[in-house]
A = this chain, B = another copy of it.
Amino acid sequence: MMASRGEPPATKVVLLLVPHKDASFHAALRERFRVLDFFASECSPLPAFLGAAAAAPEPPRAAIVVGAGLIPVDAAFLDAVPSLRCVMCLAAGVDFIDLDECARRGVVVANSGSVFSADVADHAVGLLIDVLRRVSAAERFVRRGLWPVQGGHPLGSKIGGRRVGIIGLGNIGSQIAKRLQALGCIVCYNSRTPKDSVPYRYFTNVHDLAVESDVLVVACALNKATRHIVGKDVLEALGKDGVVVNIGRGANVDQAELVRALKEGRIAGAGLDVFENEPGAPGELFCMDNVVMTPHVAVFTAESMSDLRDHVVANLEAFFSGQPLLTPVLPHSPVN
């Protein structure tokens, strides 16, 4: 197969900064590009690897970086490989990429676009139903053998009629809204600017959105404007019957304040896929039945991994052939 196609052209050199989890992903890249694979390289630490790549006769023009911010794409990174002109990020959130520094150097940035949007929206809805209807708590009750002993489990709350405020109405937020409408929820939202095409009530700030919401769903990108966008005052506005669902980034929520509000009963519950210091969730939450926690898996399905592979290849092929990226992040937008 490889022989008949010939070697991938030397000019299509790609830095791959992604841990090995999905062999088919790496194979698909190697078939099309000359791949400099950091996690397969013996040339560590990273600065040495980048230095060697940059000094090669054909230095890399593109880099693929993983979404979790394992390797920050900052000025130092970009300086280490001045040949870079494209950064492909395997997530929707690019909070660990310094977009200003990229723009200054003419480096284009692509993200995962809408590859994960439906999966993340499904997971958000799953967390919302779980918290309101106490699914995981009821699950523990059954598995501990308490059902025959104690009888009834505490009542959950009806989903229909709940006012759900979505922070960030991008690809993911819009898909969450669509699902919530089918569940009979009343959707409202906050985003940088109101969207003309949607029927939901718009709030110019998150505090006012929280006042009018039973559930707040965090679905925005993380950047300077959205860091701790759900803080003490917003939690107070949400109130003691309110629930927070976060499938954005951990730091969109002031986690210490969230934990305090949950401990003191100042909000009713939380469904969290993301946390401020991953991997790991605050131990104080482990004994709470009104909290549902998942380990940053909202994006992960077997199907989305395969879609992602195709998406990355298509973006890089576009870049190397001088075409526009399919899912450019620049120009920089602070909130979805």
Contacts and interface: CB of A to CB of B under 8 A. Distances in A.
Interface of A: 21, 118-119, 122-123, 125-127, 129-130, 133-136, 138-139, 141-143, 145, 147-148, 151-153, 155-161, 178-179, 181-184, 278-281, 283, 286, 292-295, 297, 300-305
Contacts of A123: 129, 133, 135
B158 A302 contact: yes
A103 B322 CA distance: 78
A335 to B, nearest CB: 25
Contact of A301 (B133, B138, B279, B286): B133
7 contacts: A119-B133, A126-B133, A139-B294, A142-B286, A143-B286, A147-B278, A153-B294
A114 to B, nearest CB: 12
A293 B142 contact: yes
Contacts of A302: 155-158
A148 B119 CA distance: 23
Contacts of A129: 122-123, 125-126, 129
Given A138-B294, A294-B135, A297-B138, A155 B118 contact: no
A147 B182 contact: no
Nearest to A124: B129
A306 B237 CA distance: 27
Contacts of A142: 281, 286, 293-295
Contacts of A293: 138-139, 142-143
B294 A184 contact: no
A94 to B, nearest CB: 21
B133 A135 contact: no
A160 B125 CA distance: 13
A151 B280 CA distance: 9
A62 B183 CA distance: 35
A230 B109 CA distance: 51
Contacts of A278: 147
Closest 4 CB pairs of A and B: A182-B182, A126-B129, A158-B303, A138-B294
Contacts of A303: 157-158, 161
A147 B183 contact: no
A136 B134 contact: no
Contacts of A134: 297
